[in-house]
Chain A
Amino acid sequence: MRGRFILGLLALALAPRLAVAQGQVTLYCSVQEEWCRGMVTAFERKTGIKVAMTRKSSGETYAQIKAEKDNPRGDVWWGGTGDPHLQAAEEGLTLEYKSPMLAQLHDWATRQAEAAKYRTVGVYTGALGFGYNADILAKRKLDAPKCWADLLDPKFRDEVQVADPNSSGTAYTLLATMVQIMGEEKGFDYLKKLHRNVNQYTKSGAAPAKAAGLGETLVGIAFMHDLVTMSVEGMPVKVVAPCEGTGFEIGSMSIVKGARNLEQAKAFYDWALTPEAQAVGAEQKSYQLPSNKNAPLPPQAPRLTEIKLIDYDFGKYGASAERSRLLSRWDKEVKSAPK
């Protein structure tokens, strides 16, 4: 009796506060909080559709969508690195949709859509790079690193920080980039040598950027836009586009299969690909590059034209089988190597 009574009481007291508004859409957002909220406000103002947004990292959002598969609650998943989106597409968790906006997008964004049978699309991109703390570099009287190869210099022993590819998409991008630039054997050779200079493999991909800002590490390998954010915040971080070329991520967007508010979800999807929607990021100090060709480029953003980008094969390296193979090889040969 007591249990049921309490349950009843709970239910009464905290009755579901579902807004039964005319139009609403549930958004799972995987970029920074401010950017997420900027998107919500702009979309609500534009369309009058009410947005119920929750923010989680892309790995967490993927886990949630997968756990909710039998009874989906989310409508649109916007933002976050591309691999979990591709993975969700591969598993049929997301819906095929060809937005009329596709024609206005850069090639890299539509290629992402094609690779996923139109179950996802690119909304922004950012290149991988590294940043160094200029104060500490000056104090140690070291030369500024310019290339990936420079990071192997024994002078940087225990001065480089990068995430663990097992927990971070950013670090997996580094792994896949090295394999694509140098070939698998030489790529792993590079990572093994780099291992000697790594002070720690963090859990989160953006952590090395933060650590470089705070002076907890001299060099942090991360996405360049995260590093730019640090220097815009006033920290002495210099951002480097490595001379050998580099890989990049494609921040993506997908519609959840079984979405309860499909019309509104599509409205959000189309809107998120407009130049207007893609200008929101820079206003919120996020300096990724937008996927719409007509969207304004944030002046602080690292230009893709000034960065040597490799022809990153998202289809191959995003597939789960290849990913687990590379990760277990990394675990065996790099992570457990003596320093």
Chain B
Amino acid sequence: MTEVVLAAPPARTARRRLSRDDAVMAAGLVLLAVWLAVTVALPLWTLLSKSFQDHSGGFVGLANFATYFASPALSRSLWNSLWVAALTAAVVTPLAFVYAYALTRSCMPAKPLFRLLALIPVLAPSLLPGISFIYLFGNQGFLKGLLFGNTIYGPIGIVLAEAYYCFPHALIILVTALAMADSRLYEAATVLGASRPRILLTVTLPGVKYGAISAFFVVFTLVVTDFGIPKVIGGQFNVLATDVYKQVVGQQNFVMGAVVGMVLLAPALLAFVVDRLVQGRQVAQLTARAVPLEPRPKLRFDLAMLLYCAVVGGVILAVLLVAVFASFIKYWPYNLAPTVAHYDFSNADASGWSSYWNSLEMAAFTAVFGTAIVFCGAWILEKSRVLPPLRAAVQFMAMLPLAVPGLVLGLSYIFFFNARENPLGFLYGTLAILVINSIAHFYTVSHLTATTALKQLDAEFEAVSASLKVPILRTFARITVPVCLPAILDIAMYLFLNAMTTVSALIFLYSTDTKVASIAVVNMEDAGNTAAAAAMATMIVITSVGVKLVQSGLAALVDRHTQAWRRH
């Protein structure tokens, strides 16, 4: 008792000094919690709670889960999902790591080009790699022989296409993780005579552990929940995500669909737990005294990195080009004569151009508002120490969207936003709901990128600011945002590109006036018009590349103005 009393006065002064900042942070945290509850948790609950009900809505406890787990088809899908996802993550993470390493730690030429190449898979609707892989490895494919008699329609195709599709998602996290490093550590290691591999193991890897594990889990969860690729190229190989589709769309069985949806949340829960475990051990890379690492030219290393990136980037580009090629030929595989007829959308889709503009508008809003919300949110979570239980809840809600298939998210939004008693009902059928849905859908990777960037900033910045009585918001505006601008631009780009190409959730939310281009692509493909679908998808890619180039220019400008400290 006495000790507590004695210790109290200094503690109280400290608390008083921080209290206004704490209040700001607490308010921000509450707002973020409300936002995530309204756009993620509550909508999901409206659908997933059906897993505890019978068809007429009565409560049945876990009976549906019992029924579901008793069927052998499920355990097979569950197992299929897990091993395919783990294999893809195990392949993609190291591939992306080396690529990210080359982009951040080498002096190879043409880095912006390689950055752009690596982003191609998110520039294109996921249908595109599906089409390409079938043209390459299908029964009529050019490279069919490479599969040694195995079929592309099944796990091989899924892993290939998913690895292609997930590469940029892992890369964006790893680049952020590798971008910031304290060169003093490397100098010290070199001075102490550590060999290059040893530096890699003892300095580099521990520094990016958080990013690498995040990347692994992001890929894992993306694969588990992705439905488009298994649908196009998975053949009869069943995974959990296609089971949701089968139950809801094929058999009109919402209850079982909700059960599978719940099972799908398990990987998110796992990712969340691992994330918490790793987080505690991650130390800030960029302490206030840090001297940012500047890669120095090393001819052999740079050449090796260049070669590696050329191979990986080349493969990525080649897959895209196959699909582009598909949009320029008459009839695969019978008539390979070139034609531009498939680009005449006027007969294929009269609303073609309006849906294209809708896409642009929707993606722009998603990028602007999404980045603001995600980055401020990640900052609040990272830098505040108030209301720990709420922080944990918010953290979990931020991880959730990754584990939710678009189909589930889309239907959830109908249940939630279209309910008569919901005051937000006016959003239904507008472009705003597409924007909100896209922000929610792609929240997790953006959040992890922001967190990775923020984690590398020393808490000392805040501590010093606080002791200088600088309000925390000013520290945020004057230090945090400028330092993190590259990551912020990456997040904006990521949101923009995904919003341009996403389909599965939006299909339930678009209205006649808010039809977007990616839905036009799916409709054309459904109608058997593969070439026209590829053509429209190519238009999306061209747009995305254009926007990406603008962003790169902007990033270079920002770099010159805000990142000079990295170079002194």
User: Across the two chains, which residue of chain B brings its CB closest to A201?
Assistant: B236
Distance to closest chain A CB from B347 (angstroms): 8
Does A16 contact B430, Cβ atoms closer than 8 Å? Answer: yes
Is A60 a contact partner of B365 (Cβ separation < 8 A)? Answer: no
The reply to whether A32 and B526 contact each other, CB–CB distance below 8 Å, is yes
For residue B245, CB closer than 8 A to chain A, the reply is yes
User: With A11-B432, A16-B426, A56-B507 given, is the CB distance from A166 to B527 under 8 Å?
Assistant: no
Which chain A residues lie closer than 8 Å to B471 at the CB level? none
Tell whether, in the assembled complex, residue B331 and residue A54 are in contact, meaning their CB atoms are under 8 Å apart: no
A32 touches B527 (CB 8 A): yes
- Does the CB pair B528–A230 fall under 8 Å? yes
**A residues near B151, Cβ cutoff 8 Å:** 199-200
Interface residues of A in 185-240 (CB under 8 A from B): 199-204, 206, 209-210, 213-217, 226, 229-230, 233-236
On whether A233 and B527 interact (CB within 8 A), knowing A3-B32, A54-B512, A84-B252, the answer reads no
| Stretch from A247-255, A292-300, A320-328 contacting the other chain | A320-328
Centre residue among B27, B236, B510, B528 by max chain A CB count within 10 A? B528
Q: Are A17 and B430 in contact (CB under 8 A)?
A: yes
Rounded to whole angstroms, the CA-CA distance of A42 and B335 in the bound complex is: 34
Which residues of B sit under 8 angstroms from A180, Cβ to Cβ? none
Contacts of A11 in B (CB 8 A): 426-427, 432
Please pick, from B31, B348, B373, the residue contacting A1 in the complex, using a CB distance under 8 A.
B31
With A10-B436, A203-B245 given, name 10 new contacts (CB 8 A). A9-B369, A11-B426, A32-B527, A56-B507, A164-B236, A201-B235, A213-B528, A214-B138, A215-B333, A216-B140
A59–B252 touching, CB < 8 Å:
yes
Does chain A have a CB within 8 A of B95?
A: no
Determine whether B72 belongs to the interface, using a CB cutoff of 8 Å to chain A.
yes
| A117 within 8 A of partner (CB) | no
Q: In this assembly, does A124 line the interface, its C-beta being within 8 Å of a C-beta of chain B?
A: no
**In whole angstroms, what is the CA distance A328 to B67 when docked?**
12
Closest to A41 in B: B350
Question: Do A14 and B512 have beta carbons less than 8 Å apart?
Answer: no
Residues of A within 8 A of B138 (CB): 214, 216
Pick from A1, A32, A54, A331 the residue with the most CB of B within 10 Å: A54
Interface stretch, picked from B177-185, B189-197, B417-425, B552-560, is: B417-425
Q: Check B254 for interface membership: any CB of A closer than 8 A.
A: yes
| B357 interfacial by beta-carbon distance below 8 Å | no
Contact B250 A33 (CB under 8 A): no
* CB-defined A-B contacts under 8 Å, sample of 17: A1-B31, A3-B31, A10-B436, A52-B513, A54-B512, A56-B508, A63-B248, A63-B508, A66-B252, A164-B246, A167-B242, A167-B251, A202-B235, A210-B530, A214-B333, A324-B251, A336-B73
| Cβ-defined contact, B249 with A167, below 8 A | yes
Q: How far is the CA of A128 from the CA of B235 in the complex (A)?
A: 21
User: Which residue of chain B is the closest to A53 with respect to CB atoms?
Assistant: B512
- Contact status of A200 and B331, CB under 8 A, knowing A10-B436, A56-B507: no
Q: Are B365 and A10 in contact (CB under 8 A)?
A: yes
In the bound assembly, the distance between CA atoms of A29 and B420 in angstroms comes to 24
**B330: shortest Cβ distance to chain A, in Å?**
8
- With both chains docked as a complex, state the minimum distance between the C-beta of B349 and any C-beta of chain A, in angstroms: 7
**Per DSSP, are chain B's interface residues mostly helix, strand or loop, or mixed?**
helix
B412-453 interface bits toward A, Cβ cutoff 8 Å, 1 = contact, 0 = none: 001100111000011111111001100000000000000000
Cβ of B523: which chain A residues have Cβ within 8 Å of it?
32-33, 55
B420 touches A71 (CB 8 A): yes
Q: How far is the CA of A197 from the CA of B511 in the complex (A)?
A: 42
* Contacting residues of chain A (1-40) with chain B, CB-CB under 8 angstroms: 1-4, 6, 9-11, 13-19, 26, 32-34, 37
Question: By the criterion CB–CB under 8 Å, are A320 and B246 in contact?
Answer: no
Q: Is A138 an interface residue (CB 8 A)?
A: no
Please give, as numbers and ranges, the residues of chain A lying within 8 Å of B235 by CB-CB distance. Answer: 199-202
A56 and B506 CA atoms in complex are apart in Å by: 11
A269 interface residue (CB < 8 Å to B): no
Give the chain A neighbours of B435 by CB distance below 8 A.
10, 14
Chain A window 137-173, contacts with chain B (Cβ cutoff 8 Å), 1 for yes, 0 for no? 0000000000000000000000000001011110000
Q: Which residues of B contact A (CB under 8 A)?
A: 27-28, 31-32, 34-35, 71-73, 134, 138-140, 151, 153-154, 231, 234-236, 242, 245-246, 248-254, 331-335, 347-351, 365, 369, 372-373, 376, 411, 414-415, 418-420, 425-432, 435-436, 507-508, 510-515, 520, 523-524, 526-528, 530
- Contact present for B134 and A216 (CB under 8 Å): yes
A236 / chain B contacts, CB cutoff of 8 Å: 334
A73 contacts chain B at the CB level, 8 A cutoff: yes
Residues of A within 8 A of B508 (CB): 56, 60, 63-64, 67
Sort A-B residue pairs by CB-CB distance and give the 10 closest, nearest first.
A59-B249, A167-B250, A67-B414, A200-B235, A14-B432, A52-B512, A3-B31, A32-B527, A201-B236, A33-B523
A contact residues vs B (CB 8 Å cutoff): 1-4, 6, 9-11, 13-19, 26, 32-34, 37, 51-57, 59-60, 62-64, 66-68, 70-71, 73, 84, 87, 135, 164, 166-169, 199-204, 206, 209-210, 213-217, 226, 229-230, 233-236, 320, 323-324, 327-328, 331-332, 335-336
Please state if A57 and B249 are interface contacts (CB–CB under 8 Å). yes
Q: Could you tell me the distance between the alpha carbons of A53 and B411 in the complex, rounded to whole angstroms?
A: 19
- CB-CB nearest in chain B for A234: B331
B415 to chain A, nearest CB (A): 5
Q: Verify A34–B27 contact, CB threshold 8 A.
A: no
Cα A308 to Cα B534 with chains together (Å): 38
Q: B526 to A6, Cβ gap below 8 A?
A: no
Contact of B246 among A32, A53, A166 (CB under 8 A): A166
A2-B418 in contact given A10-B432, A63-B252, A336-B72 (Cβ < 8 Å):
no
Closest to A65 in B: B414
Residues of B within 8 A of A332 (CB): 72
Smallest Cβ distance from B473 to chain A, in angstroms?
11
From A4, which residue of chain B is reached at the shortest CB distance?
B31
Report the Cα distance A16→B35, complex, angstroms: 21
Which single residue of chain A is at the shortest CB-CB distance from B46?
Answer: A67
Contact of B369 among A10, A32, A168 (CB under 8 A): A10
For A18, the chain B residues whose CB sits under 8 A away are 429
Residues of B contacting A203 with CB < 8 Å?
231, 234, 242, 245-246
CA distance A214 to B331 in the complex (A): 9
Bound Cα distance from A11 to B348, whole angstroms: 33
A333 to chain B minimum Cβ distance, whole angstroms, is 12
Select which of A68, A164, A226, A331 is within 8 A of B414 by beta carbon: A68
CA distance A34 to B526 in the complex (A): 11
Decide if A166 touches B420 in the complex (CB within 8 Å): no
Query: Residues of B contacting A17 with CB < 8 Å?
Result: 430-431, 513-514
Would you call B365 and A204 a contact (CB within 8 A)?
no
Q: How far is the CB of B31 from chain A (nearest CB, A)?
A: 4
Interface centre among B134, B349, B507, B524 (most CB of A within 10 A): B507
A214–B332 CB distance below 8 A: yes
Report B-chain residues with C-beta under 8 Å of the C-beta of A199.
151, 153, 235
Shortest CB-to-CB span from B431 to chain A, Å, is 4
Given the complex, which residues of A lie within 8 Å of B369, measured CB to CB?
6, 9-10
- Chain B residues, CB < 8 A from A16: 426-427, 429-430
CB-nearest residue of chain A to B351: A37
Rounded to whole Å, the gap between the CB of B43 and the closest CB of chain A is 11
A contact residues around B365 at 8 Å (CB): 10, 13-14
List of B residues within 8 angstroms of A328 by Cβ: 71
Once bound together, how far apart are the Cα atoms of A33 and B345, in whole Å?
12
B415, closest chain A residue (CB): A67
Shortest B413–chain A CB gap in Å is: 9
Separation of A167 and B227 alpha carbons in the complex (Å): 13
B231 touches A217 (CB 8 A): no
Shortest A197–chain B CB gap in Å is 13
How far is A328 from B74 in the complex, measured between Cα atoms in Å? 12
In Å, the complex CA distance between A333 and B200 comes to: 54
Q: Point out the residues of chain A lying under 8 angstroms from B515, CB to CB.
A: 54
Do the beta carbons of A66 and B251 come within 8 Å of each other?
no
Contacts of B520 in A (CB 8 A): 33
Q: Are B153 and A200 in contact (CB under 8 A)?
A: yes
Minimal Cβ-Cβ distance residue in A for B248: A63
